[in-house]
Chain A
């Protein structure tokens, strides 16, 4: 299959068009980065001095809570406030076929023709944690293209899908009433990363009880975590969305400008580790090295265990060719 990295014009020209905010250039740059094409590193190096303009909002929560619908309503509100937007919507890849149905745009039809709203759907491609491995870089590209606000919508998230909090300024966790144990499912995990909590579908029975449960849980947390607002929304009717926008903006201000710029060295080290692991995974998958084929066959025949196969790959094949 043709290498998509060759699909874009010279990266210098692409970079220029990207920084001018041209949608097609942003789209091509995202493809390059997602596929780790040869020019991706150059484009990413070229945007470093242009980062930090965008407010980055993460929206996460269990499947069916209404994340896409809420994002669409939030986009409408932020457009009324004059903001341009980039939206990164992540849906899961099939663990069996590698294929995916990316359907988040179905809920965003209202903005289908708005040139100030750029939506890109990404499949997880085997990455766990609620995002695609390219997500952080795609956020940077949208930032560099001049978007005022970038919204990252995760896959329907479970307890441990907390990765989004590391690459956004404000994390919004969306729950819905009537999902019963869903509150149990999130209380130990993603509840802890919320800067703003939302109870969506607030027109349903039990919404008030869900609000009370969440507020109760927040009250049990250490005082340093105080100040997380709980907001009721009915995204399909736009109710509560202005309050949510206000809360997000207030939270961003309280946190002091760009949180992403204030990453600790430990966080940066973790992100480098993630990127290095991804490069390694990709190199291994794309390699035609005969020694690697031989390793796979050894494991298949039961002559070698996975741990030692991995160690041997690292020492014999990778280090020699680095």
Chain B
């Protein structure tokens, strides 16, 4: 048993969503369950979200991290999402992407401000640890900004 008698609080708040027209949401459901089991609060949406709706949701729910699943080129909308978050004054929120994202597109997403791209086969531990670290960074950035 751990020597610490404390539990971590408050839990990170993470939005798991899909933008665009692709409805394959098995992957996003699995990742949502990973994050829940790691003690995070996951706001889960149906697929087919508009960028405008994702920004409104991120603001209202005051999330730390947004995870966008993309299996059919919807990741190309992510630069628009990053710009819209910045315009809404929520540039401190960290965004990660996962799914089928060609290597050639990854650099472009990272340039647009996406923090991390998870490819097929990404281990649970990596996803959970990365999202947890990014949540901590988002809170620090928000506090300093």
B and A form one assembly: yes
Where the two chains meet, the residues of A that have a C-beta atom closer than 8 Å to any C-beta of B are 1-4, 6-7, 23-24, 26-28, 30-31, 34-35, 93-94, 96-103, 105-106, 109, 112-113, 115, 118-121, 123, 125, 285-286, 288, 292-293, 296, 300
Assembly CA distance A288 to B4 (angstroms):
10
> Known interface pairs A24-B89, A113-B56, A120-B60. Does A1 touch B6 (Cβ–Cβ under 8 Å)?
no
Question: Within the complex, what minimum Cβ distance (angstroms) separates B57 from chain A?
Answer: 7
Which B residues are in CB contact (< 8 Å) with A293?
5
Q: Does B116 contact A (CB under 8 A)?
A: no
Contact check, A98 vs B11: say whether CB atoms are below 8 A apart: yes
Asked if B36 and A99 sit within 8 Å, CB to CB, the answer is yes
**Interface status of B41 (Cβ within 8 A of chain A):** yes
Q: Which residue of A lies closest to B88 (CB)?
A: A24
Which chain A residue lies CB-closest to B10? Answer: A35
- Docked Cα-Cα span, A98 to B60, in Å, equals 22
Interface string of B21-51 (1 = CB under 8 A from A): 0000000000011011111111111100110
- A30: B residues at CB distance < 8 A: 62
Give the distance in Å from the alpha carbon of A19 to the alpha carbon of B87 in the complex: 22
Which residue in B7, B38, B41 is a CB contact (below 8 Å) of A102? B41
Residues of B in contact (CB 8 Å), total 40
**How far, in angstroms, from A109 to B9 measured CA to CA in the complex?**
30
B36 pairs with A105, CB closer than 8 A: no
Residues in B whose Cβ lies below 8 Å from that of A4: 10, 139
With contacts A118-B60, A125-B11 known, what are 7 further pairs, Cβ within 8 A? A7-B139, A97-B38, A99-B38, A100-B36, A105-B45, A121-B61, A288-B6
B 123-145 to A, binary, CB cutoff 8 A, 1 in contact else 0: 00000000000001001101100
A1 touches B136 (CB 8 A): yes
Given A7-B142, A23-B60, A112-B50; A97-B41 close (CB under 8 Å): no
